[in-house]
A and B are shown apart, each in its own frame.
Chain A
C-alpha cells in the first residue's frame, strides 16, 4: 500500500513538474475549462436557489385564492363572498386578504403593502414591519428609523418600524411592508367590507376540483387560482429543469469541443518523444497512463474547483450579477437581493462527472497508442 502510494506520489510529482513546464498552455486550458464550469455552475446554483425561494412562496400560499374579475381585470372583492365560500363542504377556513402595491416616488421602487393573514404578526396601529430591501432602497439611517411614505405631493404618512422580516426568502419578503388593517385601509382609502382577494383553506387537497366547481357556480365572474396554478407559473418563469438540462448538455458539448481541439489532433511531437523516453528508461505503459491520468485529473479537477467556487461567489455573494438581465422587469429593489446559499449535491456531482470523465477519457486514447509502441525511434 505505501509502495502504491509512493508510486502515485512520484507520478503526481512528475506530472506537476511537467504541467508547470508548459505553464501558459496549461493555464489557458484550465481557464477555458473553468469558464465553462463557471457558466454552468452559476446557472445551476441560481436556478436551485430560485427554486427554493419559489418553494417557500408556495409553502405559504393558500390552497385556493379567489379573485373578483371585471372586464378581465383583477377587482376588489366583497366580504359577502367570504360567507358564501365558507358554506361549501370541505372548506375549513376563508379569509379576506388585503394587499397592494405602492410606488415610492422618492426612489422609483415598488413596495408590496400587506395586512398579514395571521393577526399575531400584524403590527399595531401606526406601526410597520418591513422587509430587508426597504431600508436599503430608502437609505434609512438606522434599523428602527421611522418610515415616511408620501402618496402625493404634500402628503406624508409616518409609521414606526417595529420589526424586520426574517431574510429566509429574499424573493418573498424583500420589498414587503406589513401594516395594521385599519392603517392599510386608511392609507389606500379603502372602505370596510372589501378585500383584495380571498384565501381559502380546504380539508383535503384532492377535493380541490370539486370545491372549485361549486365555487364557480356561486361566483361566476370570479377567478380561482389554485396552488398548483401558482406552482406551474413559477416553473414557467424559471423553467429550471429545462434550463439546467440545456446548460448541462451544453457544458458536456463544450468540454468535448475543448479536448477535441486539444487532444484529437493527437499528441504533439514533443509529447510523443517524451513518452518514448519514459518507456526507454523503464516506464511501462501503465506508468505512462497513470501519469497522464494524474495530468488529466489535475487539470479537470482544478478547473472544476475553480469554476464552481467562482460560480458560488458570483451567485451568492455578487447576486448573480451576470444574470441581471434575467431579473429585469422585477421590482427595482430586486436586483439587490441576495439569494440564500443553496447547493444541490446531485447536480454538482453530475456536473463533475459530465465535465471531467469525457476529458480524461479522450486524453487517454492517443496516449494509449503512443505508450504501447516500441521506443527505438528515440535512440536516434
Chain B
C-alpha cells in the first residue's frame, strides 16, 4: 500500500519559471492492484510517479510505502528503497547506449552479487517473453522505438520488484505487443504485485485488468474511478 497525503512538488520555486508540477495530491494506491494515471500532457503524471518511486522528494506533504515514511529520508535510504521496492520503465526509456539489450536488462541486478549464469538466463527469459529474443545481443541504440520500449520493460522486471512503475509503457507498441505487455501485467497482479502506470492509451485504461484509473489536470487529481 502506497499513500500520499497533501503532496506538492514545486520546480524552480520562487522564480518566474516556477512550476507547481504536483499540487496538494492525496492518494491511496492499493497493493495487489493495477493503477493507471491519465491526463493531458504536462498534468504532472511523470512527476507524481517520480515522487512515488523515491526518485524525487516532495516539496510538501508525505509519502508512505507500507507504513514507512519515505519522503524525509536521505538519498542513501531512498536508493535502498528504489532497489528493494521498484522496477521502473521510464518515459524516455533511459537505456545505456553502447551496451546490448541483455547487458542493459541485467544491469539493475549487478550490484546484488547475482550468479552470472542464472542472471543471464533470467534476463534472456524476460527478453524472450517480450518477443525480443533475436535482439538480445544488439546494442540498444540500434533498436526501433518499440524494441527499445520492450527492452526497458524487460529491465524493469529483472529484479522481481514488488512494485512496477511504468511511464507510458505502450506508447510505441502496436496492438499485439500491447496485449503481450498486458499479459505480463496480469501475471504480476496474479503474483500479488503492484503496478502503477501512466497512459494515454485507451487500450490500457479500458482493460479489465485495471483496478483504478486516476485522472490528473494541472498537477491535481480531478477524478478517481475504481
Question: Do the beta carbons of B57 and A374 come within 8 Å of each other?
Answer: yes
**A contact residues, range:** 35 or more
Contact A11 B110 (CB under 8 A): yes
- Is A104 located at the chain interface by the 8 A CB criterion? no
Name which residue of chain B comes closest to A373, CB basis.
B75
List chain B residues, Cβ under 8 A from A9: 116
B94 CB, min distance to chain A CBs, angstroms: 5
Question: Chain A at the B interface: mostly helix, strand, loop or mixed?
Answer: helix
Which residues of B94-144 have CB atoms within 8 Å of chain A's CB atoms? 94-99, 103, 106-116, 119
Find chain A residues with CB under 8 A from B103 CB: 14, 17
A277 and B94 within 8 A (CB)? yes
Asked if B179 is at the interface (CB within 8 A of a chain A CB), the reply is no
Q: Complex: how many Å from CA A299 to CA B205?
A: 50
Q: Determine whether the beta carbon of A284 is less than 8 Å from that of B50.
A: no
Q: Are A372 and B49 in contact, CB atoms less than 8 angstroms apart?
A: no
Is the C-beta of A314 less than 8 angstroms from some C-beta in chain B? no
The answer, among A14, A18, A379, for a CB contact under 8 Å with B50, is: A379
Chain B residue at minimal CB-CB distance from A12: B110
Q: Out of B75, B76, B96, B106, name the residue touching A277 (CB < 8 Å).
A: B96
Tell me which residues from 236 to 291 in chain A have a Cβ below 8 Å from any Cβ of chain B. 270, 274, 277-285, 287, 290
Residue A217 at the B interface, CB < 8 A? Answer: no
Q: Does A21 contact B (CB under 8 A)?
A: yes
A17-B99, A380-B46 given as contacts; is B111 within 8 A of A283 (CB)?
Answer: yes
CA–CA, A14 and B112, complex, Å: 13
Contacts of B106 in A (CB 8 A): 10
Contacts known (A17-B99, A18-B98); A279 close to B79, Cβ less than 8 A: yes
Assuming the contacts A280-B82, A280-B90, A379-B90, asked whether A14 and B113 have C-beta atoms less than 8 A apart, the reply is no
B102 shortest CB reach to chain A, Å = 10
Q: By the criterion CB–CB under 8 Å, are A281 and B91 in contact?
A: no
A5 to B113, CA, bound (A): 7
Interface residue tally on B, bucketed by range: 35 or more
Is the beta-carbon distance between A376 and B99 smaller than 8 angstroms? no
Contact with A along B14-52 (1 / 0, CB 8 A): 000000000000000000000000000000001101100
Determine the chain B residues whose CB is within 8 A of the CB of A374 once the complex forms: 55-57, 75, 78
A22 partner residues in chain B, CB cutoff 8 A: 98
- Who on chain A is nearest to B110 by CB? A10
Q: Name B's interface SS.
A: helix
Residue of B46, B80, B98, B155 near A281 (CB, 8 A) is B155
Assess whether B111 is in contact with A6, with CB atoms less than 8 Å apart.
Answer: no
Interchain CB contact under 8 A, A284 and B55: no
Contact A284:B114 (CB < 8 A) given known A17-B99, A379-B49: no
Q: Mark B139-151, 1 if CB is under 8 A from A, else 0.
A: 0000000000000
Interface mask (B174-185 → A, CB under 8 Å = 1, otherwise 0) = 000000000000
Tell me the minimal C-beta distance from B26 to chain A in angstroms: 21
A274-B96, A374-B55, A378-B90 known; A6-B115 Cβ under 8 A: yes
A282 close to B111 (CB less than 8 A): yes
Question: How close is A24's CB to chain B, nearest CB, in angstroms?
Answer: 12
Q: Are A285 and B55 in contact (CB under 8 A)?
A: no
* Closest residue on chain B to residue A273 by CB atoms: B94
Choose from B75, B114, B119, B155 the contact partner of A372 (Cβ within 8 Å).
B75
* CB closest residue in chain B, given A288: B111
Mask, A358-380, CB within 8 Å of B = 1, is: 00000000000000111110111
Q: Across the interface, do A375 and B111 meet the contact criterion of CB distance under 8 Å?
A: no
Q: What are the residues of chain B within 8 A of A328 when measuring CB–CB?
A: none
Which residues of A are interface residues toward B (Cβ below 8 A)? 2-7, 9-11, 13-14, 17-18, 20-22, 270, 274, 277-285, 287, 290, 372-376, 378-380
What are 6 contact pairs spanning A and B, CB under 8 A?
A7-B113, A279-B82, A282-B111, A283-B111, A376-B56, A379-B91
User: What are the 6 A-B residue pairs with the smallest beta carbon separation, nearest first?
Assistant: A21-B98, A282-B83, A376-B56, A7-B113, A287-B111, A10-B110
Interface, chain B (partner A; CB < 8 A): 46-47, 49-50, 55-57, 75-76, 78-80, 82-84, 86, 88, 90-92, 94-99, 103, 106-116, 119, 155, 159, 167
